[in-house]
Amino acid sequence: MHKRMRPFTHRFRYSVFSLFLDLDELPRLTRSLPLLSHNRFNIFSFRDSDHGPRDGTPLRPWAEAQLLAAGIDLEGGALRLLCFPRILGYVFNPLSVWFCHHRNGSLRAIIYEVKNTFGEQHCYLIPVAEDNRDNKPILQSCEKKFYVSPFIEMASAYRFRLREPQESLSILIRQAVAEGEVLLATLTGRRVAIDHGGLWRALLRYPLMTAKVMAAIHWEALWIWRKGGRFYRRGAPPAQAVTRAAP
């Protein structure tokens, strides 16, 4: 769900599904599921080139390097990624969320991987504060550094409220400009197994979901423009691929 609060209201809600993947489990998972592949075409697929450095290289070394640069050593702990899969070879992920765990199981950081419709990507890496662990609500914030919507100015900030996914999923994002809050976005869901039945049900319920995501972005942008949304020009992307914020 997205709701814009100013200078006018505009709300929309769509049904989608995401994969929640442990990167180390991908080889075993894709060997056991004919509908899901890693780095090759299938009905559902996950490609390393869609995330991280986007050059097709393995994702763990990239993520660990970014975390070490922020002073975080996972010591081989789990990296779990919440994202849309490719469906019949196509995907657009407006937001993918990395949950980065230490070897002892504690959640140490979250990477918010943001893409825009111009083919660009930027990541916000935010450590998880000590008092946010043990599945308490995680509260994080950062300044906006990356152009996403042409109808929201760059001078703004994000606030995140989420929990580590368990049986349910809850992510809340608030974006504010100098005049006040401008956008509220939520992603909620319930957990089901990635198995033969689950993938078939997802295919039948959301056969063209990833194409629908891109179509919906442009459809809602048209409505915002018709309501009088102010247009902000796109500047150069950040020089650094990852913004490291304070916990």
159, 177 Cβ separation under 8 angstroms:
no
pLDDT band at 101 (very low <50, low <70, confident <90, very high): very high
Look at residues 247, 240, 208, 229 and name the one whose alpha carbon lies nearest to residue 107.
247
- Which residues fall within 8 angstroms of residue 95, CB to CB, at 6 or more apart? 112, 113, 114, 115, 187
136 confidence band (pLDDT: 50, 70, 90): confident
pLDDT at residue 129 is higher than 90: no
Cis peptide upstream of residue 7 (ω within 30 degrees of 0): yes
**So what's the pLDDT on residue 195?**
94
Which of these ranges, 52-66, 121-135, 179-193, has the smallest mean pLDDT? Answer: 121-135
Euclidean distance between CA atoms 30 and 180, whole angstroms: 45
Whole-number Å distance between alpha carbons of 134 and 97: 19
Write out the two tokens for 110: 């979250």
Does residue 130 register a pLDDT over 90? no
Report pLDDT for 222: 94
SS3 content of the chain, % helix, strand, coil (to 5): 20, 35, 45
Instruction: Tell me which residue has tokens 């916000």.
Output: 124
> Are 186 and 173 in contact, with CB atoms under 8 Å apart?
yes
What is the reported pLDDT for 111?
A: 98
What integer pLDDT is reported at residue 210 of this predicted model?
A: 92
pLDDT at 131: 65
pTM: 0.95
Q: 55 and 49 in contact (C-beta within 8 Å)? A: yes
Residue 133 confidence class, pLDDT cut points 50, 70, 90:
low
Question: What pLDDT is attached to residue 138?
Answer: 95
Gap between the Cα atoms of 107 and 126, Å rounded: 11
Q: DSSP string spanning 132-181?
A: G-TTPPEEEEEE--S---TTS-SS-EEEEEE---SSEEEEEEEEEETTEE
Collapsed DSSP state (helix, strand, coil) of residue 69 = helix
- Work out the percent of the chain whose per-residue pLDDT is above 90: 95
How is residue 169 written in tokens? Answer: 């999923």
Quick check: 247 pLDDT over 90? no
User: In this structure, are residues 199 and 115 in contact, taking their beta carbons and an 8 Å threshold?
Assistant: no
Q: Phi then psi for 96, rounded to 5 degrees? A: -115, 145
Q: Is the pLDDT of residue 132 over 70?
A: no
Chain-wide mean pLDDT for the chain?
Answer: 95
Instruction: Name the pLDDT band for 134 (thresholds 50, 70, 90).
Output: low
Are the C-beta atoms of residues 125 and 109 closer than 8 Å to each other?
yes
Compute the distance between CA of residue 160 and CA of residue 140 in angstroms, rounded to an integer.
5
Residue 212 backbone dihedrals phi, psi, to 5 degrees: -65, -35
Is residue 35 scored above 80 in pLDDT?
Answer: yes
Helix (H, G, I), strand (E, B) or coil at 183: strand
Q: What pLDDT score does 30 carry?
A: 95
